[in-house]
Amino acid sequence: MHAKPRFILTIIVCGGLVATLTAGCGHRIELKATGDSSPKPIVREIVRDEQVPLVIDSVNTTRNGSPQNSSLETERRVLSTLREVGLFSRLGDMNAPEPPAGEKFIRARLLFDEAVDSHPSDVTWKSIAIGASMFTLAPFIPLEYDYSAHMTLELERWDGRVKHYESQSAGTAHYKMFGATPLMIDELKGHVTESCLTALMEQVVQDTAFYTASSAPILDRPIRSVSVKSKRSSITPVPVAISSGK
């Protein structure tokens, strides 16, 4: 007679536990608006003979002001976005050799500045509250993870002229206690990075004419010769008479 109520109670407890864990693992990502921008970069069609190659010279990354090892994923995403734009004849990463000196090409440098704020003080006291309630409050206490990025792209033309482009984006991941996973953070970073790259490419395509092969000739850079003259003493030598001992 007592087995049935216990069985029902067990089912209720298990159901409540599953519901708690399910609700506590949810998250959503909010990307802050950064002005008018299209979801994908604009594509400009130019004549094939007018296209020049582009080689990535450097990708520097900082996080909260501290230098970081550059991510290969960031470099791949930059190349992928440039490929979608279709402005350059071919693309080379940092390991690719530069074209010969007599060939027209673009040299690219990227600075990727990240800012991360996981609200540690806020998470601490909320974690204490969740622990004190034996995880009962886990599905109801919201947590936040902020991530922003600022990108600076420098493109140097074969004649030495340089164009600078900047973009920034930010987003927030709203999650519950059990939803703080590396996958959630990677998803947030992916959205913010994509927004920055799209804004950069929109600026680059506005200068399409600047990167065409006919926009500038190849400048000869002769080796400068410097003549070095020996210093001569300005003191006039004075003859000295040596008397003999006789």
16 φ, ψ (degrees, to nearest 5): -65, -40
The pTM (predicted TM-score) of the whole model is: 0.69
Residue-range domain boundaries for the chain: 23-35+46-213
CA 63 vs CA 38, 76, 184: distances in Å: 27, 19, 18
E-state strands within 47-202: 54-63, 66-68, 91-92, 106-117, 143-156, 162-175
What CA–CA distance (Å, rounded) separates 67 from 113?
A: 9
143's CB contacts (< 8 A; 6+ apart) are 119, 122, 123, 126, 174, 175, 176, 177, 179, 180
Model confidence over 198-217: pLDDT tens digits? 999 999 999 999 999 998 98
Model confidence over 147-193: pLDDT tens digits? 999 999 999 999 999 999 999 999 998 877 655 677 888 889 999 99
What CA–CA distance (Å, rounded) separates 84 from 94?
A: 19
Please give the span between the terminal C-alpha atoms of the chain, in angstroms, as a whole number: 148
CATH class given for the domain over 23-35+46-213: alpha beta
pLDDT in tens, the chain (246 residues): 455 665 555 555 444 444 444 444 556 777 776 654 555 555 566 788 899 999 999 999 999 989 998 778 889 999 999 998 889 999 999 988 888 878 999 999 999 999 998 755 555 545 554 555 445 555 556 677 899 999 999 999 999 999 999 999 999 988 776 556 778 888 899 999 999 999 999 999 999 999 999 989 886 544 444 444 444 444 445 454 544 444
What CA–CA distance (Å, rounded) separates 157 from 154?
A: 10
